């Protein structure tokens, strides 16, 4: 009996190891890589959340291509530290740090005013910053913190910089979303979601993250539709499951660090996670491509709701009201 048990345990463990290796190799083989060698001298790029994670990896890559990189974020001290690292590695001194709190609409407006006043061009706007705040946290404007940072802030910033993007000519807007948008829900009667007393902190936080990413893709595709005929393109992406604080902190708390460490080899590094962002920012393959959703540098199909034009138009107007945009102004900027 003991022999049989030992044999069974041996084969079970061996089978698990083999399966683990097969999945790991498949995961490694299917990770998309930006193959473009395009240079970016003379071009200006804004990257939100460039002080860590995917944004940091993106900043390193684009700086290495010669771009003028504006690192926009809330942690200015950390951004300056990363700026020093980028300059040392790439020898590109044209790296700028500017402060912005995407959850604060006043901060977004101040940042946009500064950019419009000081920058003659903007070739690529990369909305990389993303958060998953625990529980129900609200901003001074009464917005859910996660939703404001992931959607409302980028929505407002895009509108305020759109004229500059248009004047530049061929320019790109890139939004880092998530495949988890498929689990999100948007309610036209409740565009700024409120926590239900019956909903747990963890579930509410997760719902806000997924729904904010759904809103991001929905409005990006609507913006692309409104910008048809212009030289500004708008695309979204899923970076993959990347080893960042958004993934690490909630998962480690739930399953424990030891068990979570078992899954680490299946996660992308930040450099791997940045590949689709870089692809959409520089690749000749996507020149003129707009209103699409990508993963692993390939076009994918997002949730059905993101293609509902009637719903998107209604939700768009609600977002305008929430962030304080005049409908008549946005009609002139983004004609339907």
d(CA 290, CA 292): 6
- Report pLDDT for 23: 46
- Report pLDDT for 22: 45
What is the CATH topology of the domain spanning 41-240+275-333?
Answer: Rossmann fold (3.40.50)
- Report pLDDT for 33: 95
- Report pLDDT for 264: 60
Let me know if 209 is a catalytic residue: yes
- Report pLDDT for 255: 45
How big is the chain by its Cα radius of gyration, in Å? 21
* SS3 of the chain: helix, strand, coil, percent, to 5: 55, 15, 30
Tokens of 163: 């004229």
Closest to 47 (Cα-Cα) out of 77, 68, 78, 65: 68
pTM beyond 0.95: no
Beta-strand pair 68-73/292-295: unpaired
- Report pLDDT for 259: 53
Half-sphere exposure of residue 244: CA atoms within 13 angstroms, side-chain side = 24
pLDDT profile of the chain (336 residues), mean per 10: 52 44 47 93 98 97 99 97 98 98 98 99 98 85 94 99 98 97 94 71 86 98 97 97 58 50 71 97 98 98 97 98 79 50
Tell which phi-psi region holds residue 301, choosing left (phi > 0), alpha (psi between -120 and 50) or beta.
beta
- Report pLDDT for 242: 75
- Report pLDDT for 260: 53
- Report pLDDT for 4: 58
- Report pLDDT for 224: 98
Instruction: Give the 3-state secondary structure of residue 291.
Output: coil
- Report pLDDT for 11: 47
- Report pLDDT for 84: 98
State the residue for tokens 């998962």.
251
Instruction: Give the 3-state secondary structure of residue 298.
Output: strand
Is the separation of the CB atoms in 75 and 51 below 8 Å?
yes
- Report pLDDT for 151: 98
* Among 209, 260, 293, 315, the one annotated catalytic: 209
């Amino acid at each position: 009996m003991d022999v049989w048990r030992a044999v069974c345990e041996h084969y079970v463990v061996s089978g698990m190891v083999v399966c683990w290796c097969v999945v790991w190799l498949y995961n490694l083989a299917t990770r998309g890589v930006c193959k473009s060698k395009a240079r970016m001298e003379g071009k200006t790029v804004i990257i939100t959340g460039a002080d860590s994670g995917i944004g940091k990896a993106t900043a390193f890559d684009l700086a290495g291509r010669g771009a003028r990189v504006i690192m926009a974020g809330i942690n200015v001290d950390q951004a300056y530290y990363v700026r020093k690292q980028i300059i040392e590695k790439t020898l590109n001194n044209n790296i700028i740090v500017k402060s912005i709190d995407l959850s604060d609409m006043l901060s977004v407006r101040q940042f946009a005013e500064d950019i419009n006043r000081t920058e003659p061009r903007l070739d690529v706007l990369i909305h990389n910053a993303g958060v998953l705040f625990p529980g129900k946290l609200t901003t001074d404007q009464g917005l859910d913190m996660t939703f404001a940072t992931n959607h409302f802030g980028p929505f407002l910033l895009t509108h305020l910089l759109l004229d500059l993007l248009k004047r530049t000519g061929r320019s790109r807007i890139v939004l880092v979303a998530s495949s988890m948008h498929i689990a999100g829900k948007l309610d036209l009667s409740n565009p700024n979601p409120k926590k239900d007393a019956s909903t747990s902190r963890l579930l509410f936080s997760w719902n806000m993250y997924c729904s904010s990413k759904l809103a991001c893709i929905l409005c990006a595709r609507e913006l692309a539709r409104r910008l048809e005929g212009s030289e500004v393109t708008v695309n979204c992406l899923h970076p993959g499951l990347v080893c960042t604080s958004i993934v690490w902190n909630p998962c480690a708390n739930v399953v424990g660090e030891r068990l979570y460490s078992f899954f680490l080899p299946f996660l992308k590094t930040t450099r791997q996670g940045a590949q689709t962002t870089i692809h959409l920012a520089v690749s000749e393959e996507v020149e003129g491509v707009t209103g699409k959703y990508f993963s692993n540098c390939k076009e994918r199909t997002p949730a059905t709701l993101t293609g509902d034009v009637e719903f998107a138009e209604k939700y768009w107007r609600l977002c305008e009201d929430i962030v304080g945009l005049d409908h008549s102004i946005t009609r002139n900027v983004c004609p339907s």
